[in-house]
Amino acid sequence: MDISGSLEGNYDIITTFIKEITEGVNFMFARARISYTVFAADPFTRFYFNTFTTKRDVINALKITEVGYQTDLAKALKEITDNVMQPYNGDRDFVDNKVIVVTDGKSTLGSENLNNEIYRLKQKGTVYAVAVGESINPNVMRSLASKPESDFYHRIYKYDNVVEKANDVLATLCN
């Protein structure tokens, strides 16, 4: 989840979206696991797949406590690929990884590595690209999303369509 300054006015939208997704997932530790990484200039994984065993614990841990001003999307994707998606953090080889990246796609740092990190992440799992806000980079968002784009690229313009977009994601996420 992008917590950079460019999305500061959209944190309620982002948090509501993530909570709606979490509520909609059939969360049983043996079946579905959730990890949560936030990023601005540097990524920080708040919790891994093996941190919590109940949906309520996950929802209670979904908080934005600090804000960054620059954005390094490539570094965030690298964190997810190299650290989050590892067996010692609860990743399971026999379960398909599904990653939801919530951002505006406007990276101010590390853009020279972005295409490579997008490729590496897609090798590890299916990627849902969720664009938030009025001002986004549609090219980055489309390249981030798995195919078909109609299933994996979503846009949230305002708070009014958060639940609808969460349900759209859940329709393919839970299949």
Can you tell me the mean pLDDT for 148-159? 90
- For residues 129 and 173, which has the higher predicted lDDT (pLDDT)? 129
The fourth-level CATH superfamily of domain 5-173 is von Willebrand factor, type A domain (3.40.50.410)
Q: What is the pLDDT of residue 79?
A: 96
In the chain, the largest separation of any two C-alpha atoms, in whole Å, equals 39
- For residues 30 and 36, which has the higher predicted lDDT (pLDDT)? 36
Res. 103: pLDDT tops 80: yes
Instruction: Dig out the tokens for 103 from the structure.
Output: 């951002």
Q: Which of 14-23, 27-36, 50-59, 134-143 has the lowest mean pLDDT?
A: 27-36
Dist. CA 79–CA 64, nearest whole Å:
18
Nearest alpha-carbon partner for 35 in 82, 84, 75: 84
Q: What is the pLDDT of residue 128?
A: 95
CB 155 within 8 A of CB 131: yes
Can you tell me the mean pLDDT for 21-32? 72
Q: What is the pTM of this model?
A: 0.90
Outline where DSSP puts E strands in 19-120.
36-39, 43-47, 97-103
- pLDDT, one tens digit per residue, over 108-151 is 887 889 999 999 999 999 999 999 988 889 999 999 999 999 99
Q: What is the pLDDT of residue 64?
A: 67
- pLDDT, one tens digit per residue, over 52-76 is 988 889 888 887 666 777 888 999 9
Q: What is the pLDDT of residue 27?
A: 60
The alpha-helical segments, DSSP class H, found in the chain are: 11-24, 55-60, 73-79, 114-124, 138-144, 149-152, 162-173
Q: How confident is the model at residue 10 (pLDDT cuts 50, 70, 90)?
A: confident
Q: How confident is the model at residue 77 (pLDDT cuts 50, 70, 90)?
A: very high
